[in-house]
Structure 1
Amino acid sequence: MVWQDRLDEIKQRTELARAGGEPDRIERQHARGQNTIRERLDILLDDGSFHEVGALAGAGLYEDGELREFTPAPYVMGLGKIDGRHVAIGGEDFTIRGGSAKHFHQRVKGGDVGGFPEELAREYLIPLVLLIEGGGGNVQRIASEGAPPLFAGNHQFMPAVEAMMYVPVVGAVLGFAAGGPAGRSQLVHWSVMTKDTSAVFAAGPPVVRRAMGQELTPRELGGPQIHVRQSGCIDNEAADEQDAFNQIKAFLSYMPSNVFELPPVAEFNGAPPDPEPLADIVPRDRRRPYQMHKILQATLDPGSTFEIKPHYGLSLITALARVNGHPVGVIANNPLAYGGALDGDGAEKQAHFIDLCDYFHIPLVFFVDVPGFAVGPEAERAATLKRGIRAAWAGMQATVPALSIVVRKCYGMAGMIPGDSRLRYKVAWPSADWGILPIEGGVEAAYRREIEASPDPEARRRELEDEFAEMSNIFRTAEAFGVEEIIDPLETRTHLERFVEHAYRVLPHELADGPKSRPGVRP
């Protein structure tokens, strides 16, 4: 063959690239309970579906024009399939310089903030999966390029931003991620990190030690306890890499491939959930909590619920689920945490989830039991008011169909957030209870002087509360058509099925508009 020498060199370079780092580095990776990037791709992607792009990128050492040594770029990327659906995918090779790019072209390939994998996803309109483990910038670039780099504006971030405008982007942190890779873990629609082997930080322990004099382990600085449970920077925690891959598959199963498509509808031939637990689940005593998760189990397709941020913003449940196989986004107040009061973390969680579902055409279902925003000094320091109004802003900008089911309390500004910004269709259970303020606190605020001046303040307080309780009868609201329906809880599934049928009939009209604009500046 005329070009056999070139073909032989392609084969040689490809084999060197696929070998990864030195054997001892691969052994250390395995000793930590981690897979290499190529092993991860083999596990996650459908068998034989991976097509690598950029395998020949790297650094060659030449003598007399002949290749003597080749170090692959510490990033592996390409195209593949997950459960039969096309994806773009990439991840750092931690066995090569800790996944840290030495040359600028390696950063463009994808080893830092963003690059070619994002462009593949954007061009082909397919989901992007990022398997993240790397150290970000490398000071060796100064020696190799002869000058310290100055980031030239937004070109570092634009590929990632543009990908997120058109396709679902997910990130799995499977090891230590600092600098650019850590930033990349935030430029996603959903993220997961492994429980025992991952950490995320803007700068790692050596930099923190030098800058602040603090001695911290990677997990103390940025492990799941920090970013899944406290900061909320990462959405979900995985027991191990296999669990992370299973969660990636689950998340993508609810998502369309891009903003021009509808979410995929799964076949549903099973029995609907048993509604009987709904009959007695809400106690008569309005101060007693109950398990909102049991309501979800009794109304959504069995086994279809995938919770987002289950360890953060605990007063709110956000989950992707299905009704008759159709994806829906579920937002439910959790009375087991702060009585369901919406705190700052919960409000932030709600705003992001509304944006996610609205952007990818997933109808919203609210299960409402909220006494209002969380109150007190801690709530004020946590900017609950501002973050709560941001959630309201997100709800008002959303155009996807929504249904609100008022299970119990619906009070205050937090009670204004659930619902459709257009139709505002609401149904309520007989246990529902709503108003401007909860009666107890509202009476205290409005009649404080009268109560204090009474010969028997406690008796006068109870008298006023009883008067307002009588006027707060939910059937009076129904008479005024302030609520569209009050239903038997056992009929909730039927209402959900009807809503989903109409929602998915309306949704195709949104597709032609492509990416949704977000006018205004969110407070």
Structure 2
Amino acid sequence: MKVTIAKGASEEEAAAIAEALAQNFRNEVEVYVRGAEEPAATADGSDLPKPESEPEADDFGPTEREGELWAEIEEIELGGPEKYKQRLPDQGKLFVRDRMDLWFDDGLLFEDGKFAQFDADDQLPADGLITGAAEFEGREVHFMANDFTVKAGSMARHGVEKFLRMQQRALKSGKPVLYLMDSSGGRIDQQTGFFANREGIGKYYYNHSMLSGRVPQICVLYGPCIAGAAYTPVFADFTIMVEKMSAMAIASPRMVQMVTGEDISMQDLGGPEVHAKDTGSADLVARDEEHARELGAKLISYLPDNADEKPPRAEPKPPAKSPEGIDGMIPREPNRGYDMVELIERLVDADSFFELQAEYGKEIVTGFARLDGRPVGIIANQPAHRAGAIFPKAAEKAAEFVWKCDAFDVPLLYLCDTPGFMAGSQVEKEGILEQGKKMIYATSSATVPKQSVVIRKAYGAGIYAMSGPAYDPESVIGLPTGEIGIMGPEAAINAVYRNHLDAIDDPEERAKRTEELREEYRHDIDIHRMASEVVVDEIVPRVRFARNSSTGSTSTKTSKRTCRARSTAPSSKLQTDCIVFRTLCPS
């Protein structure tokens, strides 16, 4: 069999095509570069054994036309020039089709527009963008993946059309979307036909907005994504960046230098550390390509295919650490710190807690977990960081996480231990009122079931933001260390009794009176007082979990919220010394 491939193909590419065709047809193959009289490569597959499952051949053998087509397909799948592929290992990257093999173990369900730009004078395989559908972790997903070996993964007319088709299919099918991004942005020298058109690159972001809250959108960054390419990760519901590889920014360092005079590296401008710690745009940071895939697999395991379905269940597991140790690990003094993550691990199924945005707004912990095999979203104050006071970034982080959980029917568990919203000139400049409003609004408007647990202190508007009694939780549970009040004892005494105490000349008498007032105030805000007034539903000496097949009451969702504004809950029942968490959604 003789086949001809495009002019300019390298010997390595010709050899790869010859070998693939020989194995496919089990025949002798000669591959010619267009215009050449001698074959660039040959391969013989005539002696290869026939697969057991292959049907018997009839009188019609493989035709030259078929051979030509397979050669074209093989050539397209080789991607851009070999010299660009040879640079990828030095950058820690996989070739895009190897990356797809990593993500999609069983291959693709289909690929769309493979032959885009095949007949162009400047042949651009698949126009630098692969789109289609595949199976990922047993789930059908739509995907796009930039080929960085083709014009640095840049976008032009046909690639844009393929991207839009993929998004529109996702809107119709209600299946999740994976964006495997490695793009330098739009091709400036070819912008006619895709930049400002009604069905051009701007429609990406319209479709992102329509998909938000409808199906999960997960974006993984494998390189520097600049300008238009940087919007897809921030429009996605969840974004994963890769260390020393990913970056995203509104303009490249060269453009920044030209416009502002600032000399800055790509990593300092928009690398993973910037977006994990400073902007919150990165939900997760992976060590390498394999780790990125692991994070994506774990993330999607908590999410339904779309907003009309329930999150997937898993096999129930007991907590990794004994729940009976919870009261012992919580300091009695309200200002002493401890790690809330350790408490969470005593509540949820072993190895199920999956924290998001761990380095952003660290005063609040957000993440998915499972209770009795069912996904929940956890919002917990973190006393190990600034006493768990709510700062602007933490409030924004919590609000966005609540919106995501509400969109995808993931119930919410609030673990409250906070002195309230932070005060001071700096946080006022950072918008503490505005961001605090967002957190309270998100909690108020959430349509999924919510459970609030007062772990220790619940001062000021912190109890509002953490789904306290006024915010329609299924119930409010208190641990014996709990306190609910306008402010803590020290601040209250200073605010109310400062003049009274200053009038006492004897230091010992003043200290004695201060302690008396402190204890009086603490009695007034103690969780037992709150329970006696039915502010909280129950106080429990310790927390553990019991299996319960009852579905309890149900909550009717009245609306779907968008996931990102840049955008069942456990119930409880007292059984001697335990809280029984029961899902409120049908099994």
Fold match by TM threshold 0.5: yes
Q: Following the alignment from structure 1 to structure 2, what is the Cα–Cα distance between the partners of residues 440 and 401?
A: 35
Q: Following the alignment from structure 1 to structure 2, what is the Cα–Cα distance between the partners of residues 139 and 517?
A: 32
> Letter of the aligned partner of 1:169 in structure 2?
Q
Q: Following the alignment from structure 1 to structure 2, what is the Cα–Cα distance between the partners of residues 410 and 276?
A: 22
> Letter of the aligned partner of 2:484 in structure 1?
W
Task: Give the aligned partner of residue 106 of structure 1.
Answer: 159
Task: Give the aligned partner of residue 26 of structure 2.
Answer: none
Change in CA separation of 1:70 and 1:329 when aligned onto 2, cut-off 3 Å: closer
Change in CA separation of 1:214 and 1:148 when aligned onto 2, cut-off 3 Å: farther
SS at match of 1:60: coil
> Letter of the aligned partner of 1:268 in structure 2?
P
Task: Give the aligned partner of residue 493 of structure 2.
Answer: 443
Larger Rg: 2
Q: 1:132 aligns with which of 145, 162, 181?
A: 181
Change in CA separation of 1:279 and 1:269 when aligned onto 2, cut-off 3 Å: closer
Q: Following the alignment from structure 1 to structure 2, what is the Cα–Cα distance between the partners of residues 180 and 443?
A: 55
Whether 1:76 and 2:130 are equivalent positions in the alignment is yes
**Deviation per CA, 1:394-432, whole angstroms, max 9, x where unpaired?**
000001011111110101112212227434511110011
Identity %: 28
How far did 1:22 drift?
0.7
Q: Following the alignment from structure 2 to structure 1, what is the Cα–Cα distance between the partners of residues 141 and 268?
A: 34
The answer for unaligned runs of 5 or more in structure 2 is: 1-59, 568-587
Equivalent pair of 2:376/2:410 in contact (CA under 8 Å): yes
Change in CA separation of 1:470 and 1:61 when aligned onto 2, cut-off 3 Å: closer
Q: Following the alignment from structure 2 to structure 1, what is the Cα–Cα distance between the partners of residues 370 and 283?
A: 20
Q: Following the alignment from structure 1 to structure 2, what is the Cα–Cα distance between the partners of residues 88 and 263?
A: 19
> Letter of the aligned partner of 1:155 in structure 2?
K
Supply the RMSD in Å over aligned alpha carbons. 2.7
Q: Following the alignment from structure 1 to structure 2, what is the Cα–Cα distance between the partners of residues 192 and 445?
A: 46
Whether 1:233 and 2:286 are equivalent positions in the alignment is no
Task: Give the aligned partner of residue 87 of structure 1.
Answer: 141
Q: Following the alignment from structure 1 to structure 2, what is the Cα–Cα distance between the partners of residues 396 and 322?
A: 23
Q: What aligned pairs does 1:309-328 form with structure 2 within 5 A after superposition? A: 309-328=357-376
Q: Following the alignment from structure 1 to structure 2, what is the Cα–Cα distance between the partners of residues 430 and 149?
A: 61
**Deviation per CA, 1:233-260, whole angstroms, max 9, x where unpaired?**
1111111111111000001000000011
Task: Give the aligned partner of residue 195 of structure 1.
Answer: 243
> Letter of the aligned partner of 1:428 in structure 2?
G
Q: 1:427 aligns with which of 465, 477, 484?
A: 477
Q: What aligned pairs does 1:272-421 form with structure 2 within 5 A after superposition? A: 273-419=321-467, 421=471
Q: Following the alignment from structure 1 to structure 2, what is the Cα–Cα distance between the partners of residues 385 and 248?
A: 34
SS at match of 1:469: helix
Equivalent pair of 1:60/1:71 in contact (CA under 8 Å): no
> Letter of the aligned partner of 2:497 in structure 1?
Y
How far did 1:70 drift?
5.1
How far did 1:435 drift?
0.6
Task: Give the aligned partner of residue 259 of structure 2.
Answer: 211
Task: Give the aligned partner of residue 527 of structure 2.
Answer: 474
Q: Following the alignment from structure 1 to structure 2, what is the Cα–Cα distance between the partners of residues 69 and 137?
A: 18
Change in CA separation of 1:46 and 1:225 when aligned onto 2, cut-off 3 Å: same
Q: 1:163 aligns with which of 194, 204, 211?
A: 211
Q: Following the alignment from structure 1 to structure 2, what is the Cα–Cα distance between the partners of residues 127 and 10?
A: 32
Q: Following the alignment from structure 1 to structure 2, what is the Cα–Cα distance between the partners of residues 387 and 193?
A: 25
Whether 1:45 and 2:104 are equivalent positions in the alignment is yes
> How many residues were matched structurally?
498
> Letter of the aligned partner of 2:535 in structure 1?
G
Mean Cα displacement is larger for which, 205-214 or 115-124? 115-124
Task: Name whichever structure is richer in helix by fraction.
Answer: 1
Mean Cα displacement is larger for which, 455-464 or 440-449? 455-464
How far did 1:40 drift?
1.1
Change in CA separation of 1:306 and 1:517 when aligned onto 2, cut-off 3 Å: closer
Task: Give the aligned partner of residue 171 of structure 2.
Answer: 122
SS at match of 1:482: coil
Whether 1:23 and 2:82 are equivalent positions in the alignment is yes
**Deviation per CA, 1:158-215, whole angstroms, max 9, x where unpaired?**
2211122310011111111111221100111111100111111111111111111122
The answer for unaligned runs of 5 or more in structure 1 is: 63-67
Task: Give the aligned partner of residue 493 of structure 1.
Answer: 545
Whether 1:33 and 2:33 are equivalent positions in the alignment is no
**Deviation per CA, 1:352-407, whole angstroms, max 9, x where unpaired?**
11111111111111111011011222222221221011100000000101111111
Q: Following the alignment from structure 2 to structure 1, what is the Cα–Cα distance between the partners of residues 159 and 426?
A: 46
Task: Give the aligned partner of residue 65 of structure 1.
Answer: none
> Letter of the aligned partner of 1:493 in structure 2?
F
Equivalent pair of 1:273/1:300 in contact (CA under 8 Å): no
TM-score calculated relative to the size of structure 2: 0.79
SS at match of 2:443: helix
> Letter of the aligned partner of 1:310 in structure 2?
A
**Deviation per CA, 1:35-80, whole angstroms, max 9, x where unpaired?**
1221111001132344211111125336xxxxx9554311111111
SS at match of 1:331: strand
Q: Following the alignment from structure 1 to structure 2, what is the Cα–Cα distance between the partners of residues 206 and 96?
A: 22
Q: Following the alignment from structure 1 to structure 2, what is the Cα–Cα distance between the partners of residues 138 and 486?
A: 62
SS at match of 2:329: coil
> Letter of the aligned partner of 2:545 in structure 1?
R
Equivalent pair of 1:58/1:106 in contact (CA under 8 Å): no
Equivalent pair of 2:417/2:458 in contact (CA under 8 Å): yes
Whether 1:61 and 2:111 are equivalent positions in the alignment is no
Mean Cα displacement is larger for which, 154-163 or 88-97? 154-163
How far did 1:341 drift?
0.4
**Deviation per CA, 1:103-147, whole angstroms, max 9, x where unpaired?**
32322222xxxx2222222111111011111111222115xx4x9
Q: Following the alignment from structure 2 to structure 1, what is the Cα–Cα distance between the partners of residues 87 and 443?
A: 48
SS at match of 2:178: strand
TM-score calculated relative to the size of structure 1: 0.89
Q: Following the alignment from structure 1 to structure 2, what is the Cα–Cα distance between the partners of residues 439 and 162?
A: 48
Q: Following the alignment from structure 1 to structure 2, what is the Cα–Cα distance between the partners of residues 501 and 224?
A: 44
Equivalent pair of 1:13/1:70 in contact (CA under 8 Å): no
